[in-house]
Amino acid sequence: MSFASQTTNEQTSGVLDVSDKTLRGFVGYQTKRTFNVIQADLNETLSAFDLRMVSFSVLVMIIDNNGIRQSQIADALSIEAPNLVVALDGLERRDLIIRERLATDRRVWLIQATLAGRRLCEKAVRAVQKHERQILGDTDAQSLVTLMEVLKKIEIAGGSKL
């Protein structure tokens, strides 16, 4: 038993030491708390490039898949088509990407990155990678591999239920 952290003027109102042990037992809760931290760092990093999480992901997908369809981007990222349109509009306005109509099916737009788009994306990817390394601190390589594997497994296991 300890009286260590009791200040002289401590009002014994509320709870002395707040416990979140039940919540901390949930993988979901811990994952959310961790993601919140990652997201805060990420948004700050991306703000230097005038990108948000979604537009960044979209841009990376375009670089990795030159000439990809909008529907393919939306599928890969699991985002709804209307939200993708908004993201693409923003990237197109900044001349980071171009929409090109497919001749053989005029409903389809193929998306390509411009040179400026590729350059910006490369810088942004490097910045994000750098920040992730910082945030991972001294996490050893094997733990990191396990982390990613288990996360992936959960994603697949859970996703297959819906």
Partner DNA sequence: GAATAAAGATTATAAGATATAACTATTTTT
Partner DNA sequence: AAAAATAGTTATATCTTATAATCTTTATTC
Q: Does 46 bind a copy of itself (CB under 8 A)?
A: no
User: Which residue among 37, 38, 48, 85 contacts DNA (CB under 7 A)?
Assistant: 85
Which C-beta is closer to DNA: that of 63 or that of 111? 111
* Choice from 41, 61, 65, 70 touching DNA (CB under 7 A): 70
Binding characters for a copy of itself, 63-102, by CB under 8 A (x = yes):
xxxxxxx-xx--xxxx-----------------------x
Indicate whether 134 belongs to the interface with DNA (CB under 7 A). no
CA distance 151 to 144: 11
Tally of CA atoms within 13 A in the half-sphere of 135 that contains its CB: 16
What does residue 113 show for φ and ψ, rounded to 5 degrees?
Answer: -90, 145
Are 69 and 111 in contact by the 8 Å Cβ rule? The answer is yes
Binding of a copy of itself by 48 (CB under 8 A): no
Minimum distance from residue 90 beta carbon to a copy of itself (Å): 19
1-9, 30-38, 82-90, 91-99 -> range binding a copy of itself (CB under 8 A): 30-38
Would you tell me which residues interact with DNA (CB under 7 A)? 9, 11, 43, 52-54, 69-71, 74, 79-83, 85-86, 88-89, 99, 104-109
